[in-house]
Amino acid sequence: MTTSSEPVVIVGGGQSGLSAARAALSAGLRPVVLEAGVEPVGSWPGYYESLTLFSPARYSSLPGMTFDGGDPDRYPIRDEVVAYLRRYSASIDAEIRTGARVTAVHPRPGGGYLVHTDSGDDIAAAGVVAASGSFSNPYLPALPGRDTYEGEVRHVAHYRRPEPYTGKRVLVVGAGNSAVQVAYELAPHARVTLATRAPIQFMPQRIRGRDLHHWLRVTGADLLPRAVLTRLVRHAAVLDTGVYRDAITSGRLARREMLTAFTADGVIWADGTHEAVDAVIFATGYRPNLDYLAPLGALDAGMPRHVAGVSTTHRGLVYLGLEFQRSFSSNTLRGVGRDAAHVVAALAGGVSGRSRRRPQPIKRLLVRR
């Protein structure tokens, strides 16, 4: 049975979880954020050291707090984001428990959920916001022979800096921002090849003297749903001021068509040739980290079943921070606040993604008993 004291449990204390907490407070709910790590700043401290935001500071704020601290047109470095999230979490008047990893969520017969943590705490919740990101669930494609390869294999999630690769022959697999940025950074230190399925597509960082994010905002492209956007833009593209394209066209950074198999000491390329390599870095993306929802039956092969972040399987369960949850900007600092308002409104109104006809408002459950 739900009681008036029951909170909404938010799983994950990154930008998504913190935005959800802020939106929940505004909606009159009582959020409790459970964060597995030591502080509520999300995965940013684990990103590679040289990372700078792809959006200028002026387009990188969460709701209610400007990303200040200097020129609004600068591209903040990783540690500035960590410091910003630290300030942001401190500004939210919600209970945030760190060192609290959620291991399972179970439904209760009378409604609501029981949220289990690895410290043994079981928390009764009127609703759950799954905002646990994907960084801890890196995706590696199954390629023939990968298990027989004796060199170093790592996902870009575990890459920090170029120096350990000095003098090595390194293959970076992937065609996205991380793949190109890491390969470019490694090139002066190592013999690097980028392996991609298709030629890399680039998107200019600046157009007519303004950053791309200015145009995404004024044209409304940032808010387009995936189905519409993919009709306009065929391929995901790498943001570039021109340096990456130049490095590839000048041959300073080699790019080859995707490898077909691994051998013990290297790879076989699409044209059948063999090349020995010392290390392979997969920059091949991530999948949502939602194992704790498996007992609930909310997932389909590990992926959430939802419409715009609202679960289609369970009333009172919502998601935040999914790639393309509602639009291109969903999984970004600038876009997550809009989605937070949307899913928290659905939560407060008791709306499920499957049926919006018989609401059981969480707000009412919270105040009734």
- The CA distance from 169 to 34, in Å, is 42
CB 95 within 8 A of CB 33: yes
Provide the greatest CA pair distance for the chain.
71
Give the residue with the Cβ less far from ligand FAD, 17 or 151: 17
Interface residues with ligand FAD (CB under 6 A) are 11-17, 34-37, 42-44, 47, 51, 53-55, 101-102, 131-133, 135-136, 178, 289, 292, 321, 331-334
Please, what is the minimum distance in Å from the beta carbon of residue 300 to ligand FAD?
A: 19
CB 229 within 8 A of CB 221: yes
Q: Which residues, at least 6 apart from 68, have a Cβ–Cβ distance to it below 8 Å?
A: 57
CB 59 within 8 A of CB 85: no
Q: In what order do the strands lie in the sheet with 279-282?
A: 152-155, 279-282, 169-173, 191-196, 254-257
Q: Which residues, at least 6 apart from 176, have a Cβ–Cβ distance to it below 8 Å?
A: 236, 238, 283, 285
Give the residue with the Cβ less far from ligand FAD, 255 or 334: 334
Please, what is the minimum distance in Å from the beta carbon of residue 95 to ligand FAD?
A: 14
Give the residue with the Cβ less far from ligand FAD, 137 or 263: 137
Please, what is the minimum distance in Å from the beta carbon of residue 332 to ligand FAD?
A: 3
Give the residue with the Cβ less far from ligand FAD, 187 or 333: 333
Give the residue with the Cβ less far from ligand FAD, 138 or 353: 138
Q: CA 261 from chain center: how many Å?
A: 29
CB 18 within 8 A of CB 89: yes
Neighbours of 225 (CB within 10 A): 14
Residues β-bridged to residue 211: 206
Give the residue with the Cβ less far from ligand FAD, 55 or 352: 55
Give the residue with the Cβ less far from ligand FAD, 54 or 184: 54
Give the residue with the Cβ less far from ligand FAD, 144 or 297: 297
DSSP states along 113-172:
EEEEETTS-EEEESEEEE---STTSB-----TTGGG--SEEEEGGG---SGGGTT-EEEE
The upper half-sphere exposure of residue 146, i.e. CA atoms within 13 Å in the direction of its Cβ, equals 13
What SS3 state is found at 295?
helix
Give the residue with the Cβ less far from ligand FAD, 11 or 195: 11
Tokens, residue 93: 């008047």
Please, what is the minimum distance in Å from the beta carbon of residue 345 to ligand FAD?
A: 19
Please, what is the minimum distance in Å from the beta carbon of residue 283 to ligand FAD?
A: 9
